Amino acid sequence: MNKSHLSESDRKVIESMLKAKNTQSKIAKLLGYLRSTISREIRRNISLRGGYRYQQAQKLSLMRQKDKRGKEVKITAELELKVQYYLLLNKI
Protein backbone atom coordinates (compact mmCIF):
# COMPACT_ATOMS: atom_id res chain seq x y z
CA MET A 1 0.00 0.00 0.00
CA ASN A 2 2.95 2.32 -0.51
CA LYS A 3 2.07 3.40 -4.02
CA SER A 4 2.21 7.16 -4.47
CA HIS A 5 0.15 7.91 -7.59
CA LEU A 6 -2.64 6.21 -9.46
CA SER A 7 -1.67 5.20 -12.98
CA GLU A 8 -3.90 5.34 -16.03
CA SER A 9 -4.33 1.57 -15.86
CA ASP A 10 -5.37 1.89 -12.18
CA ARG A 11 -7.99 4.41 -13.26
CA LYS A 12 -9.26 2.01 -15.94
CA VAL A 13 -9.70 -0.67 -13.28
CA ILE A 14 -11.54 1.78 -11.02
CA GLU A 15 -13.94 2.69 -13.83
CA SER A 16 -14.68 -0.90 -14.79
CA MET A 17 -15.08 -2.06 -11.20
CA LEU A 18 -17.43 0.81 -10.39
CA LYS A 19 -19.53 -0.10 -13.43
CA ALA A 20 -19.64 -3.67 -12.09
CA LYS A 21 -20.95 -2.26 -8.76
CA ASN A 22 -17.86 -3.21 -6.71
CA THR A 23 -17.20 -1.36 -3.45
CA GLN A 24 -14.41 1.14 -2.99
CA SER A 25 -12.89 -1.18 -0.38
CA LYS A 26 -12.74 -4.05 -2.87
CA ILE A 27 -11.18 -1.78 -5.52
CA ALA A 28 -8.60 -0.49 -3.02
CA LYS A 29 -7.65 -4.00 -1.93
CA LEU A 30 -7.25 -5.20 -5.52
CA LEU A 31 -5.08 -2.23 -6.54
CA GLY A 32 -3.09 -2.04 -3.29
CA TYR A 33 -4.20 1.45 -2.21
CA LEU A 34 -5.96 2.72 0.87
CA ARG A 35 -9.73 3.01 0.57
CA SER A 36 -9.42 6.74 1.23
CA THR A 37 -7.20 7.08 -1.87
CA ILE A 38 -9.84 5.43 -4.05
CA SER A 39 -12.62 7.47 -2.44
CA ARG A 40 -10.71 10.72 -3.01
CA GLU A 41 -9.97 9.76 -6.63
CA ILE A 42 -13.63 9.08 -7.36
CA ARG A 43 -14.86 12.20 -5.56
CA ARG A 44 -12.28 14.40 -7.26
CA ASN A 45 -12.97 13.08 -10.75
CA ILE A 46 -16.69 12.43 -10.90
CA SER A 47 -18.07 13.69 -14.21
CA LEU A 48 -20.86 16.19 -14.65
CA ARG A 49 -22.97 13.40 -16.13
CA GLY A 50 -22.59 11.44 -12.91
CA GLY A 51 -20.00 8.75 -13.27
CA TYR A 52 -16.28 8.09 -13.15
CA ARG A 53 -14.45 8.18 -16.47
CA TYR A 54 -10.81 7.17 -16.39
CA GLN A 55 -9.82 9.27 -19.41
CA GLN A 56 -11.18 12.44 -17.86
CA ALA A 57 -9.61 11.52 -14.52
CA GLN A 58 -6.20 11.01 -16.15
CA LYS A 59 -6.39 14.32 -17.97
CA LEU A 60 -7.38 16.18 -14.79
CA SER A 61 -4.57 14.46 -12.91
CA LEU A 62 -2.02 15.66 -15.45
CA MET A 63 -3.39 19.16 -15.16
CA ARG A 64 -3.00 19.09 -11.36
CA GLN A 65 0.57 17.86 -11.40
CA LYS A 66 3.26 20.30 -10.47
CA ASP A 67 6.79 20.50 -11.67
CA LYS A 68 9.78 20.40 -9.30
CA ARG A 69 9.65 24.14 -8.67
CA GLY A 70 6.07 23.88 -7.47
CA LYS A 71 4.50 25.51 -10.50
CA GLU A 72 1.47 24.01 -12.16
CA VAL A 73 2.09 22.25 -15.44
CA LYS A 74 0.75 24.36 -18.27
CA ILE A 75 -1.51 22.48 -20.61
CA THR A 76 -0.50 23.58 -24.07
CA ALA A 77 -2.26 22.59 -27.26
CA GLU A 78 0.66 20.27 -28.00
CA LEU A 79 0.43 18.54 -24.60
CA GLU A 80 -3.33 18.14 -24.95
CA LEU A 81 -2.86 16.51 -28.37
CA LYS A 82 -0.30 14.11 -26.91
CA VAL A 83 -2.67 13.15 -24.09
CA GLN A 84 -5.49 12.55 -26.56
CA TYR A 85 -3.14 10.52 -28.78
CA TYR A 86 -2.07 8.25 -25.91
CA LEU A 87 -5.67 7.84 -24.77
CA LEU A 88 -6.63 6.74 -28.29
CA LEU A 89 -3.74 4.27 -28.38
CA ASN A 90 -4.95 2.66 -25.17
CA LYS A 91 -8.48 2.17 -26.51
CA ILE A 92 -7.30 -0.47 -28.97
Domain count, the chain: 1
pLDDT digits 0-9 by tens, 20-78: 999 999 999 999 999 999 999 999 998 878 899 999 999 888 877 765 556 766 788 88
85 found inside a domain: yes
Whole-angstrom distance, CA of residue 14 vs CA of residue 33: 11
* Range list of H helices, the chain: 8-19, 24-31, 35-44, 54-64, 77-91
Position 25 in a domain: yes
Domain residues for the domain of 21 are 8-91
Q: What is the pLDDT of residue 17?
A: 97
pLDDT of residue 66: 64
Q: Is residue 1 part of a domain?
A: no
Establish if 20 belongs to a structural domain: yes
Q: Is residue 2 part of a domain?
A: no
Q: Which residue has the higher pLDDT, 11 or 59?
A: 11
Which pLDDT does position 18 carry in this prediction? 96
Asked whether the beta carbons of 49 and 21 are under 8 A apart, the reply is no
In a domain, 51, yes or no: yes
pTM: 0.68
> What does the pLDDT read at residue 34?
95
